[in-house]
Amino acid sequence: MENQPLLRDTIIEVNLDNIAYNMKKIKEVIGEDIFIAAVVKANGYGHGAVDIAPTIMENGGEYLAVATLTEALELRKKYEDYKIFIMGYTPDEYLDYVVNNNITQTIFSLSQAEILNDLGKKNRKKPVIHIKYDTGFNRLGFRDCKESIDEIDEIFKLKNIYVEGIFSHFALAGRIEDDLQYNKFVEAVNLVEQRGWKFKFKHICDSISGIDYPEFRLNMIRPGAIIYGLKSYKDESIMLKQAMTFKTKIYHIKALEKGEGVSYDYFWKADKNCIVGTLPFGYADGYPRNLRDKGIVTIHGKKAPIIGVICMDQCMVDLTDIPEACVGDEVIIYGDGLNNTLDIHQISQLAATNKNEIACRITRRTPRVYIKGEKVVKVSNYLL
């Protein structure tokens, strides 16, 4: 695997062995008869979709699932033969990219299916689609009604298109609502198949429902967060491994006297003489700005509180209780919860959001370093 120079000490370390472990664990839990459409949208939840894709596909992935055409094209440019599935909407004028790059497209209107059918005929291809059926999430999808069943029937009649699958999405509002959504979905599938058609793939479960509702898995699930070791399901017996570590180094240390302020507006002022370190990361790297005076990093196995307003590119920490800290020392921003580090779940709680947002918001300015067998196997610096 090729390497690029880092040129920066603030990095995301991605453990490929942990991703492989999580994929195998998912497959072990769901069984060999259920396929995996591995969700790698948002740059693989911040882990780097292109670079984690082989590990996912080698360990049970049937599909790489993304949200947008551009995400699909980034993967297709690198991997000619991987099955790629756009779960979101692609505008009509860009559907030729879908056809010419052999990408599976979500469809929820007869008119768009007809456009794909015409493009397939023109390009001598047979575009693959999955029907999106709305069972109550009220985002995208055919409405749950007879007219929608009729339109899906018409889509199946198109000669230059392959209706491979149908799917829906849980709102996860509670067990009663989830049961209702599942029953609506199964009923719709049955109504279509009673007309003589057949879906190869049927899927409604994401990471949470895929673990918590084994009876709802059908023959495909769409795990996302759990691939990366981000757990939101209830089953405590299934242990996963967080794949991401966010690291940097101390760039500057200074002594402050009591009463001196730190960062914009002096929201933090020293209540005694103290030692302050400057770290080269900020909200432009995806770190939540609302963690001012709440965030914690780990240095030499000790917790150091972030103080003052978090800047776009830098932030400051109180090093008073870590007198051994020196310029160049490693800093763990997000760890795995061991050795006094905060994991992504704990960070998300401090930031009053969810784990997925914490991982996804990490920007491409921050290089990714890939670890396998405890060795660096690749460095990806998106800006080079």
Reading the chain (384 residues) residue by residue, the pLDDT tens digits are 457 888 999 999 999 999 999 999 999 999 999 999 999 999 999 999 999 999 999 999 999 999 999 999 999 999 999 999 999 999 999 999 999 999 999 999 999 999 999 999 999 999 999 999 999 999 999 999 999 999 999 999 999 999 999 999 999 999 999 999 999 999 999 999 999 999 999 999 999 999 999 999 999 999 999 999 998 777 777 899 999 999 999 999 999 999 999 999 999 999 999 999 999 999 999 999 999 999 999 999 999 999 999 999 999 999 999 999 999 999 999 999 999 999 999 999 999 999 999 999 999 999 999 999 999 999 999 998
Q: Is 82 part of the annotated catalytic residue set?
A: no
Are 117 and 160 in contact, with CB atoms under 8 Å apart?
Answer: yes
CA 189 to chain centre: 28
| H or E, element range at 148 | helix 146-157
Local structure of residue 77 (DSSP, 8 states): H
Q: Is 41 part of the annotated catalytic residue set?
A: yes
368-372 and 302-307 strand pairing: unpaired
Domain locations in the chain as residue ranges: 17-227, 244-342
Residues contacting 303, CB < 8 A, separation 6+: 296, 297, 340
244-249 and 63-66 strand pairing: unpaired
Tokens of 237: 């017996």
Tokens of 130: 């999955």
- Homologous superfamily (CATH) of 17-227 is Alanine racemase (3.20.20.10)
CB atoms within 10 A of CB 280: 17
Please name the CATH architecture into which domain 244-342 falls.
Beta Barrel (2.40)
Q: What pairs with residue 276 in β-bridges?
A: 254, 318
Tokens of 313: 């590119």
Task: Say what the pTM is.
Answer: 0.95
Instruction: Given the residues 24, 264, 266, 294, select the one marked as catalytic.
Output: 264
On whether 139 is known to bind a ligand per the annotation, the reply is: yes
On whether 143 is known to bind a ligand per the annotation, the reply is: no
Instruction: Given the residues 25, 41, 247, 249, select the one marked as catalytic.
Output: 41
